[in-house]
Every structure is written in structure tokens, then in C-alpha cells.
Structure 1
Amino acid sequence: MAKIASKALVVFSGGQDSTTCLGWAKNRFDFVESITFDYGQKHRVEIAQAEKIAKALHVKNTLLSLDAFSQLNDSALIDGTQDIGAHHKTHTNLPASFVPNRNAIFFTLAHAFAQKQGIEHIIIGVNQTDYSGYPDCREPFVKALELALNLGSEATITFHSPLMHLTKAETFALSDKEGVLGLVIDESHTCYNGDHSEKHDWGYGCGKCPACVLRKAGWEAYTQSI
């Protein structure tokens, strides 16, 4: 595969989707770096795993700290007293794991970082097929934000979301194709409860939270298809 002679930044959580995106970007761009956000998430193990995976792929990873989300405390991903499997306490039509405006802030900061680094492409692991009901993971939102950020900074940075229309099974297949399936299974973390002590066929996690249930189902569908 011929690589694009330009730079790419991967918004990197250390989870299955962003690890797949990091492999995808490494195979397509001449220069790749990643950015991870510490926003007070209770599954903080993903920050350590992000650093491990970035090092394994020889990618420089920058960690940005965001205290504002902890002050807002409006998600079960941050507030440990909330039930991760319940409805969101203010957005009752959404899951408790929804963090209001998280992706808008992450992508805005990534866009600013990309300008500083002279990077033309931003890779994000959002998905509107097999997802947890987050409205900021949908394609119209990404396109609208890309337009607004470029207008507001006179930039021409392109957002890429290679997983947007893939099922979780297809995401596993893509990670295999891009050569990072082993890292996805052995190192990535998506469990909302932060459980990185038990390894399953599909990777580490509690096996019960919405993220683990989705990942397990995707793995089973993927293995049945090969």
C-alpha cells in the first residue's frame, strides 16, 4: 500500500477502535503521532495501555489533562457512584456512559494540536453502526465540526473516521488486516469498569459492562465469519 506523503494525528484512547485506527494510519501516512486525553475517567487503565500500544508501534503519544470534566461530573465514566448500565441522569434517552460534549472538546483540542504540529489529517475512531448510542459519534456531527474548526482557524485539516460504518466484527477484521489484532487483544482496553485483570478471547474486561458486551459480541461474530 502506497503511503500518503503527509502527517496524521490519531485521537487515541488505547481502546479497540483507536488501536485499529492507529494501525490504519501507520499503514497510510508517512508520519503518525497520537494524542490521549486524561479527563478523570474511572477506567484510567486505558491511559497506561495507550502509552504501551503507542510505544509498540513506535508512535509518539502526547497526554493532555482535562480537569473540567471531573468538575462537571455528568457521566458514569467519571462519577463512580453512578450505574454504568443505567440511563444518563440528565440526557435520559442516552446511556449513563455518555460524556456531554466530550468528542467536541477532544476533536477541537486535537485540531489545535495538529495546527501546532503542522499535521494535515486527524484520525478518529468514532462509529455509528455498532455503538453505545452516543450522538457525537455520528458522521453528520464529525463533518459539521470539521467544517466549523477549519472555518474558525483558516485551516484545511481533514478528519478521517475509518470505522464509521463498520460493525464491531468488521472492526476486528480491519485490525487483523492492518496488523494490529494482537495489540487489540493483548493490550487495548475498552471496559467501562476499568477491569484489566481478566483476559478473554476478545481481550481484557469485566465482561458485563456495555463496552465489554459489545466487544464480546463483535469478536464472536468475527470469529464465526473466518
Structure 2
Amino acid sequence: MKNDKAIVVFSGGQDSTTCLFWALENFKEVETVTFNYNQRHKLEIEVAEGIAKELGVKHTLLDMGLLNQLAPNALTREDIDITQEADELPSTFVEGRNLLFLSFAAILAKQAGAKHLVTGVCETDFSGYPDCRDIFVKSLNVTLNLAMDNQFVIHTPLMWLDKAETWGLADDLHAFEFVREKTLTCYNGVIADGCGECPACELRQKGLDKYLSKDKR
């Protein structure tokens, strides 16, 4: 793969940043694409742009504001609380987000001459999001290739990793401190270790504590 080109679906969070470092290790040329879907914290876009610039990779921002209109959720509406009830999808679930993001990333990739798409979805710690499952990614991969008469390969380096193992991958890629200090995972828009209270921060911190407890560093 070292002679190939990849597009990373990039939010500037822990997972996508780890995937960016993974892509830089595995591909000759890497670009990133970030989507503006009127997310509550525009800081997410600024963080993504900043990381891409620091790492010297081309960054594209695409407008996906229609998602805000079609799929109201806690990530785009301040009047919707962040909740996660038993047997229900979290209020942070954005209907169709990964379907649309990967589809538009594939269109961008074809124009850029890239065959590889990289995304940080994960079935192990996926909060119940159906579009983070391996079966969805494999299905979409086939659909994109048929729809666009191309041979894309969607890579999911984190699919079978829990958050502790994701921290371990970042460490293996010599990116542990970078990911910890410069990414934005927090639903409340706090960079690095976050607010410590939202579900995203709790999951991230639990994985970090588990990884550090193994005394690997």
C-alpha cells in the first residue's frame, strides 16, 4: 500500500487522528476530508484543520449542512440533551452520517486519484451506532464500487479495538502524546482530556486508564 493514496475521513478526534497517523504509516500520499454538518462545536472543524496543517497533509472541508435539517440530534442541536437510554440509540446518533460521509469521501477520492478510504469507526466501543458496524462498512464498500465503477478499499483500523487498544495503537505509531493533547473528542467541545462528564469523555478516559494501568509506557 506504500505506493498508494488514501483519503482519511477526519474529525480531529482521538479515533480519526489515530487513523490519520496509521494512514501516514501505510500510504505514500494521504489527504483528509472533514464535514461541516452544523455540529454544535465549530471548534471541531478548526481542530481538524490545525492537525492536518501540522502534519502536512491536504485538508478538504465539505458542507453537509442538510444533515442538521434531516436528522436533528444532540450533536447539532443545543436544545437536545446528550442522553443514552437502555435499548435506545444515543441522542448523539446522526442518522445516515457515516453513509453520507463515506459516499462523499469516495467521490472526492475518485477525483483525487485515491483508491483507499480510511475511517475510525469501531464495533467494539461503538455506542450502539449501527453505521459503525463492520457489516455496514463492507456493504457500503461493495455499493460504492458498483455505483462508481471503481475499486475502492475502505480501511477501518480501529474496528475490533477497544479504547485502550486504540490508545495502544497511537502509542505504537509514536503519536500518544499528540493524540492526547491535541484532539477533540468531547461532546462539550473541550480539547484534550475533555470535560470528563459526557459519554465520549468517559469512554476515552476509561480506555486511557486501562491502557496506562498496563505499564506499557
Supply the AA of the counterpart residue of 2:130.
P
User: What does 1:15-94 align with in structure 2 at a 5 Å threshold?
Assistant: 15-87=13-85, 93-94=88-89
Give the match's secondary structure for 2:90: coil
Q: Percent identity?
A: 47
Equivalent residue pairs, number: 215
Give the match's secondary structure for 2:138: helix
- Tell me the TM-score normalized by structure 2: 0.95
What are the superposed Cα offsets for residues 188-220 of structure 1, whole Å, 9 maximum, x if unpaired?
A: 001112133xxxxxx331111110000000000
Unpaired runs of at least 5, structure 2: none
Is residue 2:121 matched to residue 1:121?
A: no
Supply the AA of the counterpart residue of 1:33.
E
Structure 2 residue aligned with 1:200: none
Is residue 2:171 matched to residue 1:173?
A: no
Q: CA deviation at 1:151?
A: 0.2
The counterpart of 1:191, out of the listed 181, 186, 189, is: 186
What are the superposed Cα offsets for residues 131-186 of structure 1, whole Å, 9 maximum, x if unpaired?
A: 21101000000000010011011000100000000010000010111122122111
- Tell me the TM-score normalized by structure 1: 0.92
With 182-191 and 20-29 compared, the bigger mean Cα shift is at: 182-191
Contact 1:53/1:183 (8 A) holds in 2: no
Please report the RMSD computed on the Cα atoms of aligned residues, expressed in angstroms: 1.4
Structure 1 residue aligned with 2:208: 219
Matches of 1:168 and 1:218, distance apart in 2: 4
Matches of 1:210 and 1:180, distance apart in 2: 23
User: What does 1:190-209 align with in structure 2 at a 5 Å threshold?
Assistant: 190-196=185-191, 203-209=192-198
User: What does 1:139-158 align with in structure 2 at a 5 Å threshold?
Assistant: 139-158=134-153
With 99-108 and 48-57 compared, the bigger mean Cα shift is at: 48-57
Structure 1 residue aligned with 2:90: 95
